[in-house]
């Protein structure tokens, strides 16, 4: 029936094409080759350098115009195998301890293939993949010790999990019509408290959410790099006295610099007493709860109102998958749930059950990142993850002991978890010279391909920093790191003596 | 050397374990089986129902406690193959036209395996995967007609791309120290303008960014569902007169309801004249630029200050990958770039080159979602994507013609692109009854497994809505949809006559 709307006349129809392969057998052969090559890559990591710079011809290969004509799947794969696969970041390698990057696992690599193949739309709907994510969330709620009414969402990563956590905090604490009026509806500036050791996400979060840095108090830490609870309380009182509106305290479970964990029990108590939201950034530290032995390290995490952590760090999953859990599921939904006409929840059909995930965050279309977590927990079991996390902590303690026992190495911070900060310190050198020496040592170590630590600055001192979240590393890898660091350090001292001698001569 | 920090004594070391398989040959066999099964699934989609509800025993299988002991990779895969794989959302099927969901491709499924296997950390660093994403961005900049200085970022999806785009708009337009003071530093409420047909992301965005709905003007649309430029200008003037601060106009390239595209050239002119930021949501519509024939549909998109779109919709990629492009790369970096001590850019080593992606958004750890886009463009070429997009538009026009030609079907909105809204309208029925009939028709159609359209409300009328972003659909699938819809519609009329006859008897 012709409505008011004109429709075009029929053009001469062309043959209909598809992105499915013309020959499935060909495609199967290529797919199997990709699997073989990638398994070869993973099974032989140890025989290659941790990291290597790219030759110029590889670098130049990424400087071509957009391909108008297709070259076929084989050629596309060849380009990957030749120019990409040999030059990654290095984080899979047993000798990689830089930043807190995680490794991925062979099983989860295949789970990501299955997820991309099945490719369900993870806003919601009546489908099994939604039940997979719901089950993963319920497992994580249980593992983190939150109550049954807690809700959760898998997100791209820890930054987004933390940002959404603060958004729930803001929504719950507002006391005015935040959704309608925005921050301009507030009677006073809202204030957030986090230790000075908090990861850089906090800056991104307070900017994105519209608070600005004036809303963030960097509470000082003690020599153990844990938030001073006294300073926190004083700051809250001072801010209230100035007419500001404290809304949220951010606790750290495993800081990025040193692995320190704030006294979460005490922070929870302060929040209860002050009527504030208690958010915990447990990026990697939260996973210590998977080990009975280490659980006490993050005591109090189960008292969080919201908790953010990554599964692509200390649960060894491939990028990207983070998680936000919220103690009060209703508060979580109240912060985000909306409805629009083309997304109505329906009583029956595909759309039954509505959009449980879209209602807990900002993304509507989401991938099936739950699958790898679900299959990993089923395949390996919580106990295996707990044991691996203990193993990484034991390795860090081993490294700390080797550093402490070595006359030319110096431990620069406590190593309560899996992060070890140290430097080469041959004695009788000024701080500035030590910093220069250790920076050059870091470059040469990375360039050697033997080991990749990263660095940080602790009280002005340049530190080599190892964060061990690698299921492939063994103690022998840490031995190689220590020996290479000392050898390069001595070589640098030797070179510097040589150059001083030349200058003097 | 022992610093001030005590280290633990050596515990009795346990054997070190790993998540790599004990037997790589076993793992290879399982991985190949997964590939075979998933290719079978993709190659036989047409023989299965588009969607089917889950039996109760499947539903119940997701209600088990967290596995403490591992059951092994085989068992984990069996659970997937039995309980998950047969019950997805349906969006891969050639008979699925619901929402705007996209399908994925076999090649990109394998590319996601490669990405998860290589698993590079995509904050930045000196590695080939970073050059892959940079090349993809530069190709997309070129395809969208933005200048060479434009910057971009792959993100989880369109909602986040749009949110980040508005964050750049806010940063560029603020005129005060937004990063420090937040929205409280503004002299007046900031205002954003978008048509009433804008997707639900806009609500999420103005809430997350702290603006609140009071900062959003839903500009009315004409009968063609395009923003009224006159109403826009009037609203901007009225708001300025009231002391508000207009900052941004959001244009749509392909609305979700009807596929309408605003007059982007005119909107760009208004923005230039008024000194406002011009953001375009091109979720799927932006991709029309890949076709020379369709390019004029989204004329003016190349004048956007920021442009958000999805590659997992009309570029057929598996979830999740969206893209934000920003005309002025410096403005983009100014909105997000930060630095912290543990993330210092280094002159040499792994960290050379800094964090180009982390500096353009909020996520630090990101997956290698660029790879599938890169391999797809190399393998298939832009021309193939352009042709497929034309094919989907031709199919929508074909559907619109079939609807218009049928005495019992009614087209409910213009179909300028790939979205067709219609209903079964057998004549002599009131609007409320028609709405009830078409809702029941939708349920039965979805439950039949023959076709899955979704629905929307257009001027109070319940519409069956088909958005065609499916590279597997052919015209015959639309024939089946039309025939099934008419058959079910007639059956419903028949049932309703029967029940009225019974009532009358």
Q: Tell me which chain A residue has its CA closest to the CA of residue B32.
A: A32
Nearest CA in chain A to B90: A120
Of A16, A158, A413, nearest to B5 by CB-CB distance is: A413
pLDDT at A408: 97
Quick count: other Cβ atoms within 10 Å of Cβ A209? 24
Per-residue confidence band for A118, with pLDDT thresholds at 50, 70 and 90: very high
Q: Identify which has the larger pLDDT, A500 or A20.
A: A20
Torsion from C-alpha of B411, B415, B418, B422, nearest 10 degrees: -10
- A:306-365 residues touching chain B, CB 8 A cutoff: 310, 312-313, 316, 318-320, 336, 338, 340-344, 346-351, 362-365
Q: What's residue B341's pLDDT? A: 55
Q: With 60 as the cut, is the pLDDT of residue B300 above it?
A: yes
B505 in reach of chain A (CB within 8 A)? no
* B121-368 topology per CATH: 3.40.640
The alpha carbon of A41 is separated from its chain's Cα centroid by a whole number of angstroms, namely 24
Mean pLDDT, residues B187-201 taken together: 96
Answer yes or no: do A200 and B39 touch at CB < 8 A: no
Q: Which of B87, B156, B379 sits opposite A156 (nearest CB)?
A: B156
pLDDT confidence bin for B1, thresholds 50/70/90: low
Domain extents in chain A: 120-367, 380-504
| Averaged pLDDT score across all residues of chain B | 95
Report percent pLDDT > 70 for chain B: 96
Q: Which residues of A touch B32 (CB under 8 A)?
A: 32, 35
Return the sign of the alpha-carbon dihedral for residues A202, A203, A207, A212: positive
Chain A within 8 Å of B476 (Cβ-Cβ)? no
Residue A188 token pair: 């006073």
Q: What topology does CATH give the domain A380-504? A: 3.90.1150
Does residue A233 surpass a pLDDT of 80? yes
A66 HSE (CA, 13 A, CB side): 22
- What pLDDT is recorded for position B12? 61
Q: What is the mean pLDDT of residues B352-371?
A: 93
- Position A2 scores a pLDDT of 46
Instruction: Give per-residue pLDDT as tens, B82-116.
Output: 999 999 999 999 999 999 999 999 999 999 999 99
Mean pLDDT for the stretch of residues A294-298: 96
Fold matches, A120-367 and A380-504: no
Show which of residues 414-453 on chain A sit within 8 Å of chain B, judged by CB atoms: 414-415, 425, 439, 442-443, 446-447, 452
The DSSP code for B47 is G
Q: What's the rounded mean pLDDT across residues B221-230?
A: 97
Indicate the pLDDT class of residue A134, thresholds 50, 70 and 90: very high
Confidence bin at B485 (pLDDT 50/70/90): very high
Say whether A90 and B391 touch across the interface (CB within 8 A).
Answer: no
Asked if the Cβ–Cβ distance from A80 to B381 is below 8 Å, we say no
Q: pLDDT of A61-90, one tens digit each?
A: 999 999 999 999 999 999 999 999 999 999
Nearest to A472 among B18, B75, B142 (CB): B18
Task: Assign domain B25-51+88-103+381-505 to a CATH class.
Answer: alpha beta
Question: By mean pLDDT, which of A39-53, A461-475, B338-352 is the weakest?
Answer: B338-352
Which residues in chain A touch residue B182, judged by CB atoms under 8 angstroms apart?
Answer: 183, 189, 206-207, 210-215
Residue B504 has pLDDT above 60, yes or no: yes
Tens of pLDDT, residue by residue over B465-480, are: 999 999 999 999 999 9
Lowest mean pLDDT among A341-350, B91-100, B146-155: A341-350
**Which of A321, A323, A471, A310 is CA-nearest to residue A389?**
A471
Cα dihedral A124, A127, A129, A132 sign: positive
Lowest mean pLDDT among A232-246, B265-279, B346-360, B420-434: B346-360
Note whether B193 contacts A: Cβ–Cβ < 8 A: no
Greater model confidence, A501 or B370:
B370
Q: Which residues of A touch B398 (CB under 8 A)?
A: 10, 13
For residue B498, name the pLDDT band (cuts at 50, 70, 90).
confident
B166 to chain A, any CB pair closer than 8 A? The answer is no
Task: Residue A16: list chain B partners with CB under 8 A.
Answer: 391, 474-475
In this prediction, residues B234-250 reach a mean pLDDT of: 98
* Residue of B1, B134, B468 best to disrupt the A interface, most CBs of A under 10 A: B1
Averaged over B426-430, what is the pLDDT? 91
Whether A467 shows a pLDDT value over 90: the answer reads: yes
Q: Compute the residue count for chain B.
A: 505
Contact B20 A13 (CB under 8 A): no
Domain A120-367 CATH assignment equals 3.40.190.10: no
Cβ contact (<8 Å) for A84 and B142? no
Q: Could you read off the pLDDT of A2-26 as tens digits, one per residue?
A: 445 555 566 567 899 999 999 999 9
ipTM for the assembly: 0.96
For residue A466, what pLDDT band results from cuts at 50, 70 and 90?
very high
> Who among B77, B87, B107 is closest to A73 (CB)?
B107
Q: Which pLDDT belongs to residue B428?
A: 87
CA proximity to A253, closest of A231, A214, A285, A293: A285
Mean pLDDT of chain A: 95
- Counting one residue from A and one from B, how many pairs have CB atoms under 8 Å apart? 672
**A136 CB contacts (<8 Å, ≥6 apart)?**
A154, A370, A373, A374, A377
Confidence of residue A344 (pLDDT cuts 50, 70, 90): low
pLDDT in the model for residue B2: 46
Residues of chain A with C-beta less than 8 angstroms from the C-beta of B124: none
Residue A305's SS3 state is: coil
Q: At residue A469, does pLDDT exceed 60?
A: yes
**Confidence bin at A157 (pLDDT 50/70/90):** very high
- pLDDT given for residue A6 in this prediction: 58
Q: What is the pLDDT of residue A351?
A: 86
pLDDT interval class at A368 (50, 70, 90): very high
Q: If you write DSSP's letter for every residue of A100-159 in order, what string do you get?
A: T-----HHHHHHHHHHHHH---TT--SSHHHHHHHHHHHHHHHHTT--TT-EEEEES-HH
């Amino acid at each position: 029936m012709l409505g008011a709307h004109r429709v075009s006349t029929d053009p001469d129809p062309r043959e209909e094409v598809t992105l499915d392969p013309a020959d499935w057998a060909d495609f199967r052969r290529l797919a199997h080759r990709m699997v073989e090559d990638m398994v070869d890559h993973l099974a032989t990591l140890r025989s290659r350098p941790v990291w290597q710079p790219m030759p110029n011809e590889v670098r130049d290969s990424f400087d071509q115009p957009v391909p108008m004509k297709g070259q076929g799947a084989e050629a596309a794969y060849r380009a990957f195998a030749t120019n990409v696969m040999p030059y990654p970041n290095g984080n899979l390698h047993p000798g990689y301890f830089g930043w807190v990057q995680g490794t991925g696992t062979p099983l989860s690599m295949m789970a990501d293939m299955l997820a991309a193949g099945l490719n369900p739309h993870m806003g919601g709907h009546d489908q099994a993949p939604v039940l997979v994510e719901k089950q993963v969330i319920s497992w994580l709620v249980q593992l983190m010790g939150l109550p049954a009414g807690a809700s959760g969402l898998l997100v791209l990563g820890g930054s987004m999990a933390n940002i959404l956590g603060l958004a729930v905090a803001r929504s719950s604490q507002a006391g005015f019509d935040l959704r309608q009026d925005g921050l301009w509806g507030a009677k006073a500036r809202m204030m957030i408290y986090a230790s000075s050791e908090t990861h850089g996400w906090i800056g991104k979060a307070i900017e994105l959410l519209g608070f600005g840095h004036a809303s963030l108090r960097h509470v000082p830490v003690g020599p153990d790099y844990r938030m001073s609870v006294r300073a926190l309380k004083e700051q809250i009182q001072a801010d209230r006295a100035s007419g500001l509106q404290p809304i949220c305290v951010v606790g750290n479970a495993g800081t990025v610099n040193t692995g320190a964990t704030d006294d979460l029990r005490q922070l929870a108590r302060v929040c209860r007493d002050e009527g504030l939201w208690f958010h915990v950034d447990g990026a990697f530290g939260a996973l210590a709860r998977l080990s009975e032995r280490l659980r006490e390290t993050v005591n109090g995490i189960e008292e969080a109102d919201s908790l953010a952590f990554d599964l692509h760090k200390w649960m060894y999953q491939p990028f990207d998958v983070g998680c936000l859990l919220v103690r009060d599921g209703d508060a979580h939904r109240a912060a985000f749930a909306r409805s629009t006409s083309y997304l109505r929840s329906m009583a029956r059909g595909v759309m039954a059950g509505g959009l449980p995930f879209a209602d807990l965050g900002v993304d509507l279309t989401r991938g099936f990142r739950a699958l790898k977590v679900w299959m990993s927990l089923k395949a390996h079991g919580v106990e295996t993850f707990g044991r691996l996390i203990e193993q990484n902590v034991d390795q860090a303690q081993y490294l700390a002991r080797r550093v402490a026992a070595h006359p030319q190495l110096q431990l620069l911070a406590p190593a309560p978890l899996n992060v070890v900060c140290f430097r080469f310190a041959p004695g009788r050198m000024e701080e500035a010279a030590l910093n220069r020496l250790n920076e050059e040592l870091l470059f040469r170590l990375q360039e050697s391909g033997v080991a990749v630590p990263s660095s940080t600055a602790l009280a002005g001192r340049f530190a080599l920093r190892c964060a061990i979240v690698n299921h492939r590393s063994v103690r022998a890898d840490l031995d190689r790191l220590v020996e290479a660091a000392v050898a390069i350090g001595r070589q640098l001292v030797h070179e510097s003596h040589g150059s001083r001698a030349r200058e003097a001569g």
